[in-house]
Amino acid sequence: MLAQSHKDDVAHYQMAQVLNGLEIVKACYVKRTFAKHVHEEFTVGLIEHGAQRFYRSGNVHIADQHTIILVNADDVHTGEAATDYGWQYRAMYPTLSQFSSVASELFPNGHYLPFFKSAVVQDEMLARQLRQLFWHIDNHSATLMLETLTYNILLGLLTHHATNRSLPNDITGCRSKLLRAKDYLDAYPQAEVSLEALASIAGLSQYHFVRQFKKTFDITPHSYQIQARLKKAKSLLRLGVKPVDVAIDCGFHDQSHLNRHFTRVMGISPGKFFQQAILYKTH
């Protein structure tokens, strides 16, 4: 049943005992809007009711009931309701390594980096498999059942919807320079780094660095720093670190600063995410 008011917006995250941990979410939103953000995992979401409007890969897309949303790892995207009554969905977030474990069996002689060109797909078989997986997770089915369903889903995604991503030729060397700065932000998300320092790491002028970073990654350096901090925050919350300590460890000014950014991206407060992680660990 869809929520009827903004106060009913809900999201529940958990880690399923499959492939060394698979993050899944059950959510229902009416007025929640998600700012531009990235996930280090891929997003495979099934719209159960309503419709979602979202930005991905330079375009705006609409995913209505029974369609599947595909977002690549580190692909900048947003999210909001495309109907007056919002949208309800289930999603799984497989990692690159989880995809790679399946891809290595299909492409044993080469490195395969999956890329989903289509942001929204209609695939009745895949939708049915996702429903089955979520049902079995909810009902604590046997590990073998969960792993078999997950394997078949990843295999179907690779064979029917993914291509081997080929990065553009870095003729000028600019991308490799920008990646040095991006890697620094990933490695030290809590650091108070200046624009001058990041540009120096990249070996570019500040003006050129800012323009090329946004052009290449579809996000500003500062916004990407926030995303890197949120990735670390999510990992610490899962480990049982309290939100107030997470805020300090991840470079946020205070807990309210963490709360604001975390909720805008995850649709749930870090406190509730922490509680769900602790609840999961006790079961």
**Domain harbouring 228, CATH code:** 1.10.10.60
The pLDDT tens digits of the residues spanning 215-270 come to: 999 999 999 999 999 999 999 999 999 999 999 999 999 999 999 999 999 999 99
- Once rounded to an integer, what is the mean pLDDT over residues 22-34? 94
Are 73 and 153 found together in one domain? Answer: yes
In a domain, 82, yes or no: yes
Are 204 and 74 found together in one domain? Answer: no
Q: What is the pLDDT of residue 5?
A: 45
Are 139 and 230 found together in one domain? Answer: no
**Domain harbouring 139, CATH code:** 2.60.120.10
Q: What is the pLDDT of residue 277?
A: 82
Q: Are 184 and 201 in contact (CB under 8 A)?
A: yes
Domain termination residue (choose one: 120, 136, 164): 164
The pLDDT tens digits of the residues spanning 255-271 come to: 999 999 999 999 999 99
Domain termination residue (choose one: 136, 164, 192): 164
Are 106 and 138 found together in one domain? Answer: yes
In a domain, 71, yes or no: yes
Give this prediction's pTM. 0.88
The pLDDT tens digits of the residues spanning 127-138 come to: 999 999 999 999
In a domain, 197, yes or no: yes
Q: Tell me the residue range of the domain where 70 lies.
A: 6-164
Query: What is the domain count for the chain?
Result: 2
In a domain, 263, yes or no: yes
In a domain, 1, yes or no: no
Q: What is the pLDDT of residue 72?
A: 95
Between 278 and 126, residue with greater pLDDT: 126
- Once rounded to an integer, what is the mean pLDDT over residues 48-69? 96
Domain termination residue (choose one: 164, 186, 209): 164
